[in-house]
A and B are shown apart, each in its own frame.
Chain A
Amino acid sequence: MRIALTLAAGLLLLSLAFTWWQQSPRGEPVELTPTLSGQPEYCLTCHGDVPQISAAHALATFGCVSCHGGERLALDADVAHSSMRGGANPSDLALVEDSCGGGDCHSGSEADDRHHIQRVLTSVQSTYAGAIASMRYSFGAQPDLEARYGIAAVSDEETSTGIHSLAAFEPWNESHPLVQEFGENCLTCHLNATPREGEAFARSTGCASCHLTGEHTFSTAIPYAQCNACHNRGNYDLRTMTFVERGDEAVKRVDDYYQPIAQFTRCEYTLDCIDCHTRAEVMGDGDLHADKQSIQYIQCKTCHGTLTDLPHTRTLTDPDDIAFRLAFLNPVVDLQLGDTILVTEAGEPLWNTRVLPDGTYEMTGKASKQVFTFRPVMGTACQQNPDEQQSQYCHECHAVER
């Protein structure tokens, strides 16, 4: 009995000593108490060299745990990381509500324009609803092009498009083998998917797909190359339902920007995608849409007008105008009350533009910071028919020679 007791005491001592050694900090812990949580965290003990993700997510305010989760007081790497959300990417759409949500953050009200998560989850970039419907219709799996499925089940009770919900697309339940192959091979560019292998396709998932523009760097200044990871990476062979990686090596920007067979005007390949395509088009507007065409509405006339109409403009008189918030997050222009900017037909501000005193316009590239000046169509010798505003009509005269 005594021997057993002695052995037990010895074992207890040994285990305590081992635990003490394992839990002892290697060097002084670095403490940070973010103002948002008010709770100390020791993440910077090991991660002090990680750059602050953005000015809007100041380290002293947010710390690390608010977004990433994890055990804030642990000094052992395994323990500290054991409850992290999404590994290095807490913005994955499966986790985004916990990581980035909140009324004052990214799942606030539509009235405050803080419903970013709802917008992304219902956007066609996330649902892929149009492509799925098109494929299922083409191979007889559904009788029309109505959007029934998305990559994940999603609902929108306050929809203004008539689409209240999409069921989760389950390719393995499809009867046509090509629809099954489409599901397996052709869904790697939606925001939930892990991208294809290869440097040209490198991106993260969720918010980081678009906004992660460098090492632990989030930005709204998204260069066209970021979009290219999905939008100019090759083609799908519909006969075999396989992806064919583009084989050309672009020398000129016009070749790098778009598919080789397409025509483009100078502004279309000189500007970055986000200089024209608005937040609602790219990130969604909070409603479920049947396909890309039903959310994409920017045309040449949005900035240039027509022979009979000037583009829409707005003079900024409200300090809370969303234009100021967007310009603050990506300060390529110094917007002031009283400035007149272009707005889209839906009223979205093209906040990086300005109407100049002589009636011409100026745009500053959101990613490139280049300044471009341009003029309205009205009063020029343009031969357009004001009713023909799709890009191919403008390309007839203005497309560049390759």
Chain B
Amino acid sequence: MSDLSRRDFLKVLRTCLLYVSGALAAGGLLRFLDPGEQPPTRTEFNLGPAAAYAPGSRTVLAQVPAVLLHTSAGFKALSLTCTHLGCSLGGKSEGFACACHGSRFDREGKSIRGPAREQLAVLHTEVTAEGDLRLIKES
């Protein structure tokens, strides 16, 4: 192995510096231009076997948040996000209530006391070929 001359060492160092700085600058530029991770616009929730939800049952899904109704017409999920400003709703015997501003909704999600005017959003549900229940939330 031959000895590296001082001139060659500086040459290698300079070349390395140029490449590294160039790569970092390019990386920085790309990172600057990249808007970053966007919040998901569609979230799927696998709720497990559909058979686990008895007919007539009402199940609060805190992770969504939503309430899952198993009616004679099938599964129906109501969002538990208030249609006024988006606060989470809590269960009441006659329906749902907003802890922020006092809006009330009946058991079917219809607004019965303001300030919320619109009824609760219905979220899409489907039963997969394997018999699992899936809920899809668009945001």
Known: A13-B24, A320-B113. A61 touches B17 (CB 8 A): no
Q: Are B85 and A61 in contact (CB under 8 A)?
A: yes
Hey, which chain B residues are within 8 Å of A34, CB to CB? Answer: 86
Q: Are A57 and B18 in contact (CB under 8 A)?
A: no
Within 8 A of B (CB), among A3-24: 5-6, 9-10, 12-13, 16, 19
Hey, which chain A residues are within 8 Å of B104, CB to CB? Answer: 319
Q: Is A244 an interface residue (CB 8 A)?
A: no
Q: Are B87 and A324 in contact (CB under 8 A)?
A: no
Q: Is A50 an interface residue (CB 8 A)?
A: no
**Of A36-44, A281-289, A343-351, which binds chain B?**
A36-44
In chain B, what residue has the closest Cβ to A319? B113
- Give, as a whole number of angstroms, the nearest-CB distance from A353 to chain B: 19
Which of B14, B21, B85, B88 interacts with A2 by CB under 8 Å?
B14
Q: Mark A55-81, 1 if CB is under 8 A from B, else 0.
A: 111101110000000000100000000
Residues of chain B at interface, number, CB under 8 A: 27
Hey, which chain A residues are within 8 Å of B84, CB to CB? Answer: 104
Chain A contact residues (Cβ within 8 angstroms of B): what range?
Answer: 20 to 34
Work out how many contacts link A and B, with CB atoms closer than 8 A.
Answer: 77
Q: Is A238 an interface residue (CB 8 A)?
A: no
Majority-rule SS of A interface residues: helix
Q: Are B139 and A328 in contact (CB under 8 A)?
A: no
Q: Is B91 an interface residue (CB 8 A)?
A: no
Hey, which chain B residues are within 8 Å of A57, CB to CB? Answer: 100
Q: Is B54 an interface residue (CB 8 A)?
A: no
Q: Is A105 an interface residue (CB 8 A)?
A: yes
In chain B, what residue has the closest Cβ to A6? B14
Q: Mark B102-124, 1 if CB is under 8 A from A, else 0.
A: 10100000001111000000000
Interface positions of A (Cβ within 8 A of B): 2, 5-6, 9-10, 12-13, 16, 19, 33-36, 38-40, 55-58, 60-62, 73, 104-105, 112, 114, 319-320, 324-325, 328-329
Closest 4 CB pairs of A and B: A35-B86, A328-B102, A9-B17, A9-B21
